Amino acid sequence: MTVVVLLLAVAVGVLALLVFGLLRTHAEILRALDRAGISLDGGQTVSPAPQAGQDRSVNGVASDPAAARDLVGTVPAGGPTKIAVSGVERFTLLAFLSPGCRTCKRFWEAFAEPDLELPGGNTRLVIVGQDPAHDSESAMAELVPPGVKAVLSSAAWEDYDVPGSPYFVLVHGPDGRVVGAGSALRWEQLRDLLQQALNDAGLADRSEGSPSTMHVDHSGRSPSVMQADQSGQSPSPTAAGSSGRSRELRADQALRSAGVRPGHPSLYRRWPDSNGGNGADPAGTGADQ
Amino acid sequence: MSRLAAHGVSIDVPAGWEAELSTQPDPAVLDSGLESSGASLVVVHAANFSLPAERGDYGSGAVEVMDRNGIFVTLVEFDPASATSRLFSHQGLPSRLAPGDFAPDQLHLSLPGQAGVQVFFHVGSRAFCLYAVIGSYSMRSVLVPELNRMLSGFSVH
């Protein structure tokens, strides 16, 4: 009898060890999945960040620096819209979010903060959902914070090769290139990654955290890949500023399109300075002073 | 060039421009004393700068952030009953505006340096107002041709 009891006790002990081992393995698997950005809650997933150094063309997005595309779709609970992201003077942060994605909830909340500061200075946030056939339009319309631009465009998801939500793409408007793309689990993490991508591209603000002059690098480098588990600081920006240059190019383009070319007589015409100002208003209305 | 189209209005939006086509809320929803028109009255906004998410029909919210090079244009549809009125007697969508059409005193929201123009017209049984704002009155000879290129991509059926 004693022997049987002892055998049973040993068996129970061995089984307990087996169960403990299985639970530990299970926990390790869950932690690994969480690190990879995959949540098992409700079957919703977060796209894993691409690996550092991976060529974006491998993922279907060309490594061409001019890969950024304007967005065409519909406003949630609204009509058709086109949003320009390339050929504009600012950065655009495209946030590819879904109403049903649990991790996205943190970003919906973060983007509703009125004092949210986006890296890059004069950066515009655009939330991009999928077409109403994929995502609930009314749910999107409810989630979009007031004052934040949003568009439903599955075409944009394809253009930017979005593997899942949440996913983020930072576009440098003046030369229409993607500076960085990837995923993150929290806004703070994303903000750091964006800043790092800007640093890597030589596009960071000289004075971080304030909407200041943008320093543009025309090196044409491929976009950085933002990696959620990456850490460490990048070198400080070294590129020369050129926001004035892009404005000058835009003015030149507008003048050329109006038929005003170098040497055009209108450039040398003197207008009477009726208001003691700079004489820029030929009608003398002073409206522009 | 991207094309937006809805409710019988289409726009070819060139690179660097943004546009949005929406419908006005039914007046009967806002005021129970009014009769429902039953028609979807269109509002089109287009600009050569980033359009803010929240804007008034005549561009409030947008023209305030417009710089000297900015151009904003809106097409606002009125009740079809207005199409036969004298105010809307001009036939067809204006596709060419002259720099001289713009004046600082034609602005819905008077802002320093800006100038605007407002044109009422009808297309078939539909009545519209085209309202455009340029960021700099003194640059109207440069900005208005750019606006005209945009307007050439508008069409109303």
B4–A80 CB contact, under 8 Å? yes
Are A29 and A66 contained in the same domain?
no
* Nearest by Cα to A228 from A38, A48, A32: A48
* Nearest by Cα to A171 from A73, A53, A85: A85
3-state secondary structure of B47: strand
Q: Say how many domains are in chain A.
A: 2
Q: Are strands A177-182 and A224-226 parallel, antiparallel or unpaired?
A: parallel
Are A92 and A215 contained in the same domain?
yes
A283–B138 CB contact, under 8 Å? yes
Are A122 and A231 contained in the same domain?
yes
Domain boundary among A205, A225, A241: A241
Question: Which H helix or E strand runs over A171?
Answer: strand A167-172
Find chain B residues with C-beta within 8 A of A274's C-beta: none
pLDDT in tens, B96-121: 999 999 999 999 999 999 999 999 99
A79–B6 CB contact, under 8 Å? yes
pLDDT over 70 percentage in chain A: 56
Selected residues 22-51 of chain B with any CB under 8 Å from a CB in chain A: 22-23, 49-51
CATH number of the structural domain spanning residue A191: 3.40.30.10
Are A115 and A195 contained in the same domain?
yes
Asked if B15 has any chain A CB less than 8 Å from its own CB, the reply is yes
Does A232 fall in a domain?
A: yes
- Rounded distance between C-alpha atoms, residue A183 and residue A164, angstroms: 9
pLDDT category at A155 given cuts 50, 70, 90 is: very high
Q: What is the domain range of residue A12?
A: 2-35
Find chain A residues with C-beta within 8 A of B19's C-beta: 81-82
Are A127 and A235 contained in the same domain?
yes
pLDDT over 90 percentage in chain B: 82
Are A106 and A219 contained in the same domain?
yes
| Mean pLDDT within A37-44 | 46
| Facing residue for B23 by CB, picked from A79, A254, A258 | A79
- Rounded distance between C-alpha atoms, residue B35 and residue A242, angstroms: 55
Is the pLDDT at B22 greater than 50? The verdict is yes
Find chain A residues with C-beta within 8 A of B139's C-beta: 288
* Nearest by Cα to B96 from B140, B46, B151: B151
Residue A157 sits at the vertex; the CA angle it makes with A225 and A185, to the nearest 5 degrees, is 50
Does A254 fall in a domain?
A: no
B113–A287 CB contact, under 8 Å? yes
Q: Which of A69, A70, A71, A81 to mutate to test the interface with B (most CBs of B within 10 A)?
A: A81
| Facing residue for B20 by CB, picked from A75, A254, A285 | A75
| Facing residue for B22 by CB, picked from A78, A82, A90 | A78
Are A16 and A74 contained in the same domain?
no
pLDDT category at A210 given cuts 50, 70, 90 is: very low
B142–A258 CB contact, under 8 Å? yes
Helices (H), chain A: 2-35, 104-111, 137-143, 154-159, 187-200, 243-257
Most confident of A34-43, A116-125, A276-285, B138-147: B138-147
Asked if A254 has any chain B CB less than 8 Å from its own CB, the reply is yes
* Nearest by Cα to A85 from A102, A72, A74: A72
pLDDT category at A35 given cuts 50, 70, 90 is: very low
Q: Say how many domains are in chain B.
A: 1
- Write down the pLDDT at residue A33: 52
Asked if B87 has any chain A CB less than 8 Å from its own CB, the reply is no
- Write down the pLDDT at residue A257: 61
Q: What is the domain range of residue B67?
A: 2-30+37-156
pLDDT in tens, A225-263: 564 443 333 333 323 333 444 455 556 656 666 666 666
Does A214 fall in a domain?
A: yes
- Write down the pLDDT at residue A217: 32
Does A215 fall in a domain?
A: yes
Are A92 and A229 contained in the same domain?
yes
